[in-house]
Amino acid sequence: MKVHVDLYVNLKKYAPANGSSFEIQLESGATVKTVLKVLKIPANEKAIVLVNGRNADESNPLKEKDTITLYSPISGG
């Protein structure tokens, strides 16, 4: 299945070539953890995870056309 990934702030450096907003192909049954693995995001890199703009965590299962958003914790606004 194809999912969309948006990486922001310090997570941008894990993007493949051609920008930090991209699509990736995953096997069915994939979770957010699969995305972190595919993008080689280390466990100690703190990331806020959203799936389709909703709160999610690593175990969140994914489906076709989901959007996964990852960004660093930001303290302030």
Partner 1 sequence: MTGWMGKILRVNLSNGEINEETLDSQVARDFVGGRGLAIYYMLKEVDPNCDALGNENKLVMTTGPLTGTRAPTGGRYMVTTKSPLTDAITCSNSGGNFPAELKKSGFDAIIFEGRAAEPVYLWINDGKAELKPAGHLWGKDTHETDDAIRAETDNKAKTAVIGPAGEKRVLFASIMNDRDRAAGRAGVGAVMGAKKLKGVAVRGTQKVSMADEERFIEINQKYRGRFKEVKKAGPYPLTTHGTAITVVATQAHGVFPPRNFQTGQFKEWEAIYGEALTEKYLVKAKPCFSCPIACGRVTKVPDGPYQGQGEGPEYETVYSLGSDVGVGDLAALTKANYLCNELGLDTISMGSAIACAMELYENGHLSESDIGFPLEWGDGEALVKLTQQTGMREGFGDILAEGSLRMATRYGHPELAMVSKGLDLPGYDPRGTQGLGLNYATSPIGASHMRGDLPYCELLGVPVKIDGLTWADKPPIVVKWQNVFSLIDAAGLCVFFSIRYLCDPTLEIRPEGIMNLLNAATGADYGLDELEKIGDRILNAERLFLLRAGFDRRQDSLPARFTDTPMPDGPAKGVVCHLDEMLEQYYQIRGWSQDGLPTEEKLNDLGLAGM
Q: What's the CA gap between 14 and 76, in Å, rounded?
A: 24
Q: 18, 3, 19, 20: which is closest to 70 by C-alpha?
A: 20
Distance of closest approach, residue 13 Cβ to partner 1, in angstroms: 9
Kindly give the residue spans of alpha helices, DSSP state H, lying in 1-77.
32-38
Residues that bind partner 1 (CB under 8 A): 6, 8-10, 44-46, 48, 50, 52-55, 69, 71-77
Residue 7 or residue 30: which is nearer to partner 1 going by CB?
7
Residue 28 or residue 55: which is nearer to partner 1 going by CB?
55
